[in-house]
Amino acid sequence: MRDGLSIVTLVGIVLSAYQLPAQTTFRNPIITGMNPDPSICCAGDDYYLVTSTFEYFPGLPIYQSKDLVHWKLIGHALSRASNNPLMGCESSTGGQYAATIRYHEGTFYVTGTNYGGQGSQGMFYVTAANPAGPWSEPHWIGKWYVDPSISFEGSTMYYLSPDNQTSFLLGTISPAVGKFITEMKKIADGLGGSSPEGPHLYKTNGYYYLMSAEGGTGYEHREVIQRSSSAWGPYEPSPINPVASHKDSPNNPFHAIGHADMIETPDGWWLVCLGIRPVGDNYHHLGRETFLAPVTWNTEGWPKVGTDGIVKEEYSVPNLPEHIWEKEPVRDDFDSTSLRLSWNFIRNPHATDWSLTEKPGFLRLNGSAINFKQKDSPAFICRRQTAFKMSVATKVSFTPTASNEEAGLVVRGNDSNHYDLTITMHEEKRSVVFKRVLKGAAVETTYKEAADGDIMLRIDATELQYRFSIQAQGQTAEQIGTASTRDLSTEVIGGFTGVFIGMYASGNGAANGNPADFDWFDFIDNDDTTGIRRQRAFTTGRSGGFAAEAAVNFELSSRSRVRLDIFDFLGRKVITPVNGELPAGNHRIPLNGPALSSGAYFYRLHTGSSGDDILFLHHNTDGMRFRSFR
| Residue from 37, 332, 420, 487 carrying the catalytic annotation | 37
The candidate with the shortest Cα–Cα distance to 460, out of 284, 277, 283, 627, is: 627
Residue-wise burial string across 586-605, b where 16 or more C-beta atoms lie within 10 A, e elsewhere = ebebebeeeebbbbbbbbbb
- Establish whether 37 is a catalytic residue: yes
Q: Would you say 131 and 61 are in contact if contact means Cβ atoms under 8 Å apart?
A: no
> Which residue among the candidates 55, 67, 147, 197 is catalytic per the annotation?
197
The set of residues, in sequence order, having a beta carbon less than 8 Å from that of 172 and lying 6+ positions away, is 156, 157, 158, 159, 180, 181, 182
- CA distance linking residue 116 with residue 526, whole number of Å: 36
Backbone conformation region of residue 29, classed left if phi is above 0, alpha if psi is from -120 to 50, else beta: beta
Distance CA 609, CA 205 (A): 50
SS3 content of the chain, % helix, strand, coil (to 5): 0, 50, 50
Task: Count Cα neighbours of 418 within 13 Å in the Cβ-side half-sphere.
Answer: 25
Residues 6+ apart with CB under 8 A from 451: 430, 472
The DSSP secondary structure of 260-271, one letter per residue, reads EEEEEETTEEEE
- 516-548 burial: b if 16+ Cβ within 10 Å, else e: bbbbbbbbbbbeebbbbeebebebebeeebbbe
415 is catalytic: no
Side by side, the strands of the sheet bearing 268-276 are 255-265, 268-276, 289-297, 303-305
Q: Which residues are catalytic?
A: 37, 197
